[in-house]
Chains A and B, each alone.
Chain A
Amino acid sequence: MSGAALLDVDRLTMRFGGLVAIDELSFAADKEKITAVIGPNGAGKTTVFNCLTGFYRPTAGNLALHRDGQELRLERMEGWRIARDAGIARTFQNIRLFAGMTVLENLIIAQHTRLMRASGWSIAGLLGLAGYRQAEAEALDRAREWLDRIGLVPRADTIAGTLPYGDQRRLEIARAMCTEPALLCLDEPAAGLNPRESHELNRLLLSIRDRYRIAILLIEHDMNVVMGISDRVVVLDYGRKIADGTPQEVRNDPAVIKAYLGEPEA
């Protein structure tokens, strides 16, 4: 199993002053698998994400990403480098789209790294050279493909901030996917979705895993999503890992039941 690990989290610790948000957490996310991180509110799930994506610098511990035979040490990298070089894309608990720009522009900006390189530090782009024009056409094709997948082709040129909530959630996932990541981190993608929408989300995530062969790391409260699609579930409580296994194993783990439902009265 360890040979297939894309991401290795090793004794990750994050302290804010005296508060220990994450305490020596170790887990792995495998290639081409969906790993869910669950836990009660305040368990430190989003903090794990923020450490992974470079928004926080961990107090201690290692975050290693294995890509193309290389090991990248995320805890030493800046956030934008993690996104660009390690190929980790993320969505946010409170959606962070470029709300004043169009749906299509959101997907094009996600392809910034590739387009910037093609535009030759903007010089080739300013001159309108063929290389850049072709790169832009490819970016447009990729964006159109994703618009099609999330069913937003007719809304491509509308302002992203005016979309309904569920569409914004899916657009944010599509935007993250347009960066062509190796690992997709989703922070509560089903929050605020109705049952039909969360069912669609399940299908979308499974198709991303199977079609693009990437790993997904997922924070979620919606147990239909977690149990329905996860290959592996990591359970946190007060910043510690209390369970780690298949959905079946976790569901029956007494420690998990205790964390969620409290001690049975003696």
Chain B
Amino acid sequence: MDFLRLAKESALAGFVALILAIPLAGFDTNQLGTGTTIGTRPSWVAIAVVAVFVGRFLLGLLPKRRGGDRPPVVSLFIAEHQRVLGWLGLALAVVWPFLPFSSQYLLDLATAVLIYMMLGWGLGVVVGLAGLLNLGYAAFYAVGAYTLALTSAYWGLGFWEALPLAGLCAAIVGILLALPVLRLRGDYLAIVTLGFGEIIRIILINWQSFTYGPNGVNGLPRPTFFGLPLVARAPGGGKTFAQFFGIEFNQSQRYIFLYFVTLALALVVNVFILRLRRLPVGRAWEALREDEIASRALGINPVNVKLSAFAIGALLAGFAGTFFAARQSFVSPESFNFQESATVLAIVVLGGMGSQLGIALAAIILVTLPEFGREFAQFRMLLFGAAMVGIMIWRPRGLFSLRTPSITLSGRQAPQ
């Protein structure tokens, strides 16, 4: 082992850490009566430098990994037991609200996870299956959310009337975006979709007379149980859910109900995509991702295939957006910035491109991870970033990057 070289490399890493740590951790502000003064924290800088130096040194001592192409044991296990794990996950999701440690906060978090799962599955069609990199996915999400907001504000539509409309509007917007970018692939497509995402957000901010601008829209309708609202007192003297079933109204009923509605739609979305994947459209998406020229030579119309991928992806984002808006009962343009698109893309990439279970697990990780960091307050994003860097090092092709064939000769390991 070449200790001298390793020490040199570690020293270099420590030096970089020093340069970074001085502005980032080297200063702090002190509140002194009326003003603030800047103090220095040399010990913090020292800690950072030593930690990086020692860490780099220890990393260098680790044996080099061999045969990096073999999928790790964990993903093999997950791939082999997908069906069982899927059903276990579903069972857990169903009993989740009734577990002893369950709380309104955990329930709300689980609803958010499910919404992101839907988004991840939707974007998984576009990016994972069809191979069309889309960095503006939040735009379709926004269209869905604003469809609920604006149809309820202008026409007084409820959640259930707005839901199909939201999907439809988002799908139409998806096709409108797809038409001009049909010839683009890879980086160019990514840039156009990125711009498109910003355009939608900026329209929402600036078209004040129609979208209520940056203030957003308040008091959105929540889903009702077959027309029975889940509130303390029904407007207009109708019956509420609690009155109808003769039970005490409880604020948590609303959360539980929204959770189950989201879960149900997430399941429908999942089954929908699983089936699509095994149909000619689904295979054509994947064929296009693998080789567009060969696809054309087999008589596949690339225009239709791309349009359908964009439309289906946007449709699902529209549904998810409606749930997002109903969960918060409020929408504003700031909820649909690039950060949102990036998070969903991270879920798809982390989930391993085209693996439904992988995307579900990635959604759980990426939505709950920032929550765990809450106690660390200012270091939360740092923690998140470190986790992402770690994933890129150890699992660059996603956590569970094992593709299930859409059809097999032996019939065994049928995709699920």
Q: What residues make up the interface of A, taking CB atoms closer than 8 Å to B?
A: 53-55, 79-81, 83-84, 89-90, 92, 96-102, 104-105, 108-110, 112-113, 115-116, 119, 122, 125-126, 128, 136, 140, 144, 147, 153, 156-157, 175-176, 179
Contact = CB atoms under 8 A, between A and B. Distances in A.
- The CB with the most chain A CB atoms within 10 A, among B286, B291, B294, is that of B294
A60 to B, nearest CB: 23
Interface string B382-416: 00000000000000000000010111111000000
Contacts of A176: 297-298
Interface string B258-292: 00000000000000100110011101101100110
Contact of A80 (B279, B300, B405): B300
Contacts of B40: none
B33 interface: no
B299 interface: yes
Interchain residue pairs A-B with the least CB separation, the first 4 = A84-B299, A83-B299, A98-B290, A156-B409
B279 A144 contact: no
A113 B406 CA distance: 17
A19 to B, nearest CB: 22
- The CB with the most chain A CB atoms within 10 A, among B272, B275, B280, B300, is that of B280
Contacts, number: 113
B75 to A, nearest CB: 16
Interface residues of B, number: 29
Interface of B: 272, 275-276, 279-281, 283-284, 286-287, 290-291, 293-302, 403, 405-410
Contacts of B276: 122, 126
B297 A115 contact: no
Given A96-B291, A122-B276, A126-B275, A112 B408 contact: no
B286 A101 contact: yes
A129 B135 CA distance: 36
A55 B286 CA distance: 21
22 contacts: A53-B297, A55-B293, A80-B295, A84-B301, A92-B294, A96-B291, A96-B294, A97-B291, A97-B294, A99-B290, A100-B290, A101-B286, A102-B408, A104-B408, A108-B283, A110-B298, A112-B300, A122-B280, A125-B279, A156-B409, A156-B410, A179-B299
Given A116-B281, A119-B279, A104 B409 contact: yes
A151 B357 CA distance: 34
B281 A89 contact: no
B229 to A, nearest CB: 33
B281 A101 contact: no
A153 B301 CA distance: 29
Contacts of B302: 80
B284 A153 contact: no
B280 A98 contact: no
Nearest to A95: B294
Contact of B297 (A79, A113, A136): A79
The dominant DSSP class at the B interface is helix
Contacts of B291: 96-99
B288 to A, nearest CB: 9
A112 B409 contact: no
A126 B283 contact: no
A126 B300 CA distance: 20
Nearest to A178: B298
Contacts of B293: 55, 92, 96
Contacts of A122: 276, 279-281
A108 B406 CA distance: 10
B410 A157 contact: yes
B407 A105 contact: yes
B50 to A, nearest CB: 45
Given A104-B407, A157-B409, A98 B297 contact: no
Contacts of B283: 105, 108-109, 112
Contacts of B294: 92, 96-98
A54 B276 CA distance: 29
Contacts of B405: 101-102, 104-105, 157
B407 A112 contact: no
Nearest to B413: A157
Contacts of A84: 299, 301
A89 to B, nearest CB: 7
Given A102-B405, A119-B279, A157-B409, A89 B297 contact: yes
Nearest to B405: A102
Given A113-B300, A125-B279, 16 more contacts: A79-B297, A80-B295, A81-B299, A90-B297, A96-B293, A96-B297, A100-B286, A100-B290, A101-B286, A104-B409, A109-B295, A112-B299, A122-B280, A128-B275, A157-B408, A157-B409
Nearest to A153: B409
Contacts of A54: 296
A121 B262 CA distance: 28
Contacts of B410: 156-157
A109 B298 contact: yes
Nearest to A181: B299
B297 A112 contact: no
Contacts of B299: 80-81, 83-84, 112-113, 179
B280 A101 contact: no
- The CB with the most chain B CB atoms within 10 A, among A53, A55, A104, A175, is that of A104
A110 B299 CA distance: 8
A214 to B, nearest CB: 16
Contact of A175 (B281, B298, B300, B409): B298
A110 B294 CA distance: 10
Contacts of A89: 297-298
Contacts of A125: 275, 279-280
Contact of A83 (B281, B287, B298): B298
